[in-house]
Structure 1
């Protein structure tokens, strides 16, 4: 039977090769997964032209996925460095990579990225439109915007962030409800500026069916961007954010009617006590579509440590039902991340995702923790290091501070409770002096 997209296949009762891959990874019944894809509650971003993709699913009942942002900019134009980041991100077990390139030979980098990457690839075509077309923002035409989207789809991009929900009505909400940090979404701010400069509607909202034509043709998952995500605690859950979310829910149903898979993007900066409610709002207003969050960053005061503020918010969001976490690095708000920043961000996001998976009862999530605990009870440092989420760092810390006795560490030494309890329970003598 012929099908156009993963969602189209699922609706027709077809279990695709991609669904089988995801079902095996998630230890889920393939038929159950197919039904979730058909209902839009799981997305499997898998562009027909991404030939070496090792498919992943995002959504209800699946493990929490993480995304890494990278790409070249005018101030830091080093393709080799960005490709090194790609290799490191894959080594560190990211689930997805978003290419946010906005300057220079963007297509050359994007094609290399897709060719070498088995993980799903996302982009924000709005960035590339400004960088690639080399025109003033005001002068970019509607046809040019869509030509960039189609080029990304042809190249094999699996999901695209497009800010379709910020129409002129939502833009008025922004202007009439003063924010502390205005619009902090880069793509959203560019679209807002284009709309104001040209006195026109958002082209991706006005010509949404044209966008769906492209997504359906290549099976691109539409990641509906949150142009009005809060950039400060002060601006969270305000009228502009909620109005845009309502619009995204309407656009989700239109996409599903065309068999186009959808993810919904979410905040942003937000205090701890608002996170669960925001996840609930997204799931209600957007009909259970997978939720992709940046952070949320739970305090505004920690530049240099926003991988931590983000991991705190991400763990809470995912444990309450968010499905996909976008990593945040220590360089957030300060500069383009380097390799070390990227590693810190990935590990923090993976910890948040894993902690949430335990809370959600994802099959197999707790098994890893139990194995680590058993290694600790056995005072088996070799095994502990091999099980660590970052074995390289765990090994370095162990080697930097050697204890008198090899089966202890320099924190407790001979008073190690694990070692001593093991001896006492085995009926052995205990010598601490």
Structure 2
């Protein structure tokens, strides 16, 4: 997730104003008669008070030009027809930093993982194109205890969860020069299923242990193991063991993970993953059921993840990367493969940025799910840039089915700085 702005000099407020104007075409029903066209305006205001304080406000407003249901209003109704949709006005809110005793982040959750990631991993709360909630997560440290709690929708009854990690070395031997080398963590997540379309409730819990076995300047290696299940559901459990590596240099930030997983009774690690906002309504595959009720065979899987950011020069902030790659893949012994990823590159002295996203769920089985999108941004003036976007979507129908669609947009934007 991006902060409201890259880190800037502390001690003063900085701001950015931006407006994008584009034409947007939506094809939500798969036929020419379903084509909807809009003029889209996206204002944005960013206030940055330094490393520990920032806010980014703004949301796209889509004004109907043609198509859609006869008698539809000027503004696209599906973008603002629930209380949760008003959360999209907060693009990002940051209070505190990684070094603060407590911190709060709110806004769109994109590829979010809850600490160990064995329940919530690479989750996006806006995968449903007609549901635009603001999520939030709160972090805190007290002695040997580190905790993180999150909500996928601060204005609706949806996903809530928390993970509490205990630093064992700190607990038994006091504060350590290298904290967090041996940790034991407990997490639990519950979905109320009452916003963004109704879906069955579900609760999962997981226990994890992690040990850092090798530490070198700019590099560390750790091993992990864990066990989880569905409280109150007999026979629904899973186990995991794996290895991970983190590398940080002035120009490289890389996190790698490889795990072997076992699943029983419908439980799986990463249950709340990149496809969850669609799968909770209808899982990938032929069952036609929500993921909570859809059959999921007992078996094993191998999961791999790589998150790599690289820059040719030493620059701070998550926005300043010549290359950013985020990729997760899981292969199951019974013939299913799930993959999701994002690749973004900056070219031509950072004047051009190209990004592509892809998700494939249930590959190797009937009725697999595929979603693709891409974006190009080209700054050809100090304050003027062009933007183009396009891709595929799945729209949630009132009966819980998912209708395939597509979108494309192109336009211009202006702001006061690069």
Provide the TM-score with structure 1 as the length reference: 0.29
Q: Work out which of the two has the higher radius of gyration on C-alpha atoms and give 1 or 2.
A: 1
Q: Which has the higher helix share?
A: 1
